[in-house]
Structure 1
Amino acid sequence: MNILLWHVHGSWTTSFVQGPHTYLLPVTPDRGPDGLGRARTWDWPASVLELPPERLRTADIDLVVLQRPHEAALAEEWLGRRPGRDLPAVYLEHNAPHGAVPDTRHPAADRDDLLLVHVTHFNRLFWDSGSTRTAVIEHGIVDPGHRYTGRLARAAVVVNEPVRRGRTTGTDLLPALAAAAPLDVFGMGTEGLAGHLGLPPDRCRTQDLPQAELHRALADRRVYLHPVRWTSLGLSLLEAMHLGMPVVALATTEAVHAVPPGAGVLSTRPEELADAVRHYLDDPAAAVTDGFRARQAALDRYGLKRFLADWNHVIEEVCA
């Protein structure tokens, strides 16, 4: 099948395009948010094709995957066809709701012409989707392999724009956690974080790396730290588990199901997270053991084969 989707979430799309279909991605001259085309830092197969908007009107498309509220109107403009009416469509929701939670209405609420797919059961529970049919397809990860060394007695954090996003990403918790272990914070928009938090540079280093380099860097850190208060389910958390890292995370949103006992430490008390980080820094053997459990749990629940099978089932149902 030919599936049209926008390049919105690089890590998720990397898994999705491993399926047996042809994936059509809009590309514009400026490669802006509505026309990024193929990824530059992920390894995508040849079945991912770029098409400029002017070619989409005559393109053979079997399914449209919408991911942002404005994409329905954009698709109608570029295709001359309405997703959900003239073409089968699903709306994929990556995020937990913001605003008046749990009363936030989903942009695709009360629609009878598409299926709303959530990436976690938590998200489906908290979005008000009205009468729209919903499904949950949990994440699947392209396995990076067991790479954990833990040779650096530091904690790794992956977060984009931690200064702007503030309490949402748990940025305010980092100073106390940095007292337990020096932090290496990876992601976009992390420049100047140490100064913003009033931390010396050696306690909070930042870097933005391509995916392949990021995996190597994460695996060298002793523990993965996930201080995010409100998120869907960070793919970086699942990737760290695949790498064989023990994880320390806030017990919020879907993390309570993603990280089983023995794979790390979950708590809503920041001081317990700090104690757990110290434990792994002081006991490398425990970090290795719990990292093995984390990897097995991630492979069992968030493997690519299950993810693609779930999506193929939905695609066949919607396009039937």
Structure 2
Amino acid sequence: MNILLWHVHGSWTTAFVQGPHTYLVPVTPDRGPDGRGRARTFAWPDSVRERTPEELRRAPVDLVVLQRPHEAELAERWLGGRRPGRDIPAVYLEHNAPDGAVPDTRHPCADRRDLVLVHVTHFNRLFWDSGTTRTEVIEHGIVDPGHRYTGSLARAAVVVNEPLRRGRTVGTDLLPALAEAAPLDVFGMRTEGLADRLGLSARACRTADLPQRDLHEAMAQRRVYLHPVRWTSLGLSLLEAMHLGMPVVALATTEAAEAVPPGCGVLSNRPEVLAGALRRYLAEPDAAAEDGGRARQAALGRYGLKRFLADWESLITEVAA
């Protein structure tokens, strides 16, 4: 089966393209947001094939996976007038929790009968108003990076993109107080200047933008994973940290309370409780390793790649029939 999808979310797509199909990824000369092509920092199989808009006009496509509101019009134009959901089976994958007036936020695909709206968490499905559109939940799956945890560095790892721009949404304002409990290493895109903006010393807060192949190794060297995000769907970096065998300290918001069972870390909406947990893990490396081991088993059980691909295969078979 030929499945058309845009390269929007590298980590999610890395798991999705491990399936048994051929995956057509649009590519444009500028490799901009609508034509990134194959990933350059993730390992994707040969079944992921780049196609220009001109090539897509003639390409056989059995299913379109939409991920952004404007992709339906883009797909129709690039596919030579074939309309997702009408001429070609389609699903809309929603990665994000709603913004704005959250309890009343209408999804762009609300009240549509020509496609299936797929959420990545039950929290998302609950909070989006999807009207009469059929909705399904297929929870995240992770390509297992292996149990790499050493915890040799008495520091906390944080993974967040653009912490200065996103601010309170990702808990940037919480970092100064938490850095008093454990020195932080913040990994992600556009993290430069974070320590200066927060008034933190170079020891209290270090930043680095690492390619995916190096990120997991760096995370696993840190004693604990800190997830200070207030509002997100469910950070894949949190699930990756658990797969690595890291104990997690996180805000008990959105889907985190479901993803991190008791004994795998500490979840709380009280910053002082999170700070206490960071201090404890730094002081007790054996306890950190034990909780991290349980975190890995929990993540493998709920967010393993086999379950993820099986869930998607079931839906794909039904929708494309």
Task: Settle same-fold status: TM greater than 0.5.
Answer: yes
How does 1:1-320 map onto structure 2 within 5 Å? Answer: 1-79=1-79, 80-320=81-321
Secondary structure (helix, strand or coil) at the match of 1:245 reads coil
Matches of 1:264 and 1:218, distance apart in 2 = 16
TM-score (norm 2): 0.99
Q: Deviations over 1:114-144 (max 9, x none)?
A: 0000000000000000110000000000000
Matches of 1:189 and 1:128, distance apart in 2 = 32
Matches of 1:132 and 1:214, distance apart in 2 = 38
What code does the residue aligned with 2:73 have?
A
Q: Deviations over 1:210-247 (max 9, x none)?
A: 11200000000000000000000000000000000000
Structure 1 runs of 4+ off > 4 angstroms?
none
Secondary structure (helix, strand or coil) at the match of 1:8 reads coil
What code does the residue aligned with 1:156 have?
A
Q: Deviations over 1:280-313 (max 9, x none)?
A: 0000000000000000000000000000000000
Secondary structure (helix, strand or coil) at the match of 2:41 reads coil
Secondary structure (helix, strand or coil) at the match of 2:61 reads coil
Alpha-carbon offset, residue 77 of structure 1: 0.7
What code does the residue aligned with 1:152 have?
L
Aligned-CA RMSD value? 0.4
Matches of 1:184 and 1:224, distance apart in 2 = 10
Matches of 2:256 and 2:243, distance apart in 1 = 15
Secondary structure (helix, strand or coil) at the match of 2:69 reads coil
What code does the residue aligned with 2:219 have?
L
Alpha-carbon offset, residue 201 of structure 1: 1.1
Alpha-carbon offset, residue 44 of structure 1: 0.3
What code does the residue aligned with 1:49 have?
R
Matches of 2:104 and 2:244, distance apart in 1 = 37
Q: Deviations over 1:97-125 (max 9, x none)?
A: 00001110001111000000000000000
How many corresponding residue pairs? 320
Identity value in percent: 82
Q: Which runs of 5+ in 1 are unaligned?
A: none
Matches of 2:60 and 2:82, distance apart in 1 = 12
Matches of 2:286 and 2:268, distance apart in 1 = 22
What code does the residue aligned with 1:16 have?
F
What code does the residue aligned with 1:27 have?
V
Matches of 1:102 and 1:148, distance apart in 2 = 39
Matches of 1:33 and 1:250, distance apart in 2 = 31
Matches of 2:83 and 2:67, distance apart in 1 = 15
Matches of 2:272 and 2:62, distance apart in 1 = 51
TM-score (norm 1): 1.00
Q: Deviations over 1:127-166 (max 9, x none)?
A: 0001100000000000000000000000000000000000
Q: Which runs of 5+ in 2 are unaligned?
A: none
Matches of 1:177 and 1:108, distance apart in 2 = 39
Secondary structure (helix, strand or coil) at the match of 1:102 reads helix
